[in-house]
Amino acid sequence: MNAASIAALSTSGVQVEVVPETGSTNVDLLARAGALAQPLLLVAENQTAGRGRAGRSWLSAPGHSLTFSLAWKFESGPQALSGLPLAVGVALAETLGRLGVQVRLKWPNDLLKDGDKLAGILIETAAAPGPGIWAVIGVGLNLVMPDELEREIGRAVSAVPWLARMDRDELIAALLDGLAAMLRQFERTGFSAFAARWNLLHAYQGDTVRILDRGAVLHEGVAAGVDDTGRLLLDTSEGRIAIAAGDVSLRLKE
């Protein structure tokens, strides 16, 4: 992958850097956030210590996945970021759809293909000098899933091997353009402009699901989409409730 090529193929105007290997692109950008003057996309050809939500590891193999982070400054405070992981999911899913890959969204931050995880999103924040806050949006997207890596992950995961044959610079540029367009709209409207689009892509709409916290079932009910702030709406035996993301997990009831 080539940073100059990605930047030339993109219409976003975002600065791009590519490194052959790093521990975590999110960690790298968080460390640099205080000195950044403009949005920056950092792409790693190999990421050795990728992370997911709640401290989980994101495992990937060199050449078989896309791992990147985008640092984007918001002029308002952290409260303005409510629902951002879901909006990122919409942007990625719609971009992949335009490239011929139909995916669904799992609340709050996963992309699924054929029912299995294809990509994950991790958003972290860092203080900016003066007003505003930097959001660092990390994305891991499986392109090819070697059998040995799937065994190491320990569960079924999805991949898009035919998309792996696409020029990587073009693929990254397309994803960057989708993310940048979403972020500019999100700055103006917040998540409310994305709620209906998210619900159209909801993997578990109308299914009975469980909300777990460290393995314990907190709630069970029928998934009814998300509201304008990104909370999951769950129709339970006691009525409809709204659940904020936090560190809880969603599972399809078997």
The residues assigned a catalytic role are: 53, 117, 251
Return the closest-CA partner of residue 99 out of 161, 181, 171, 31. 171
Cα–Cα dist 131/106, whole Å: 33
The set of residues, in sequence order, having a beta carbon less than 8 Å from that of 250 and lying 6+ positions away, is 106, 107, 108, 204, 209, 210, 211, 212, 223, 232
For tokens 């918001």, what's the residue?
74
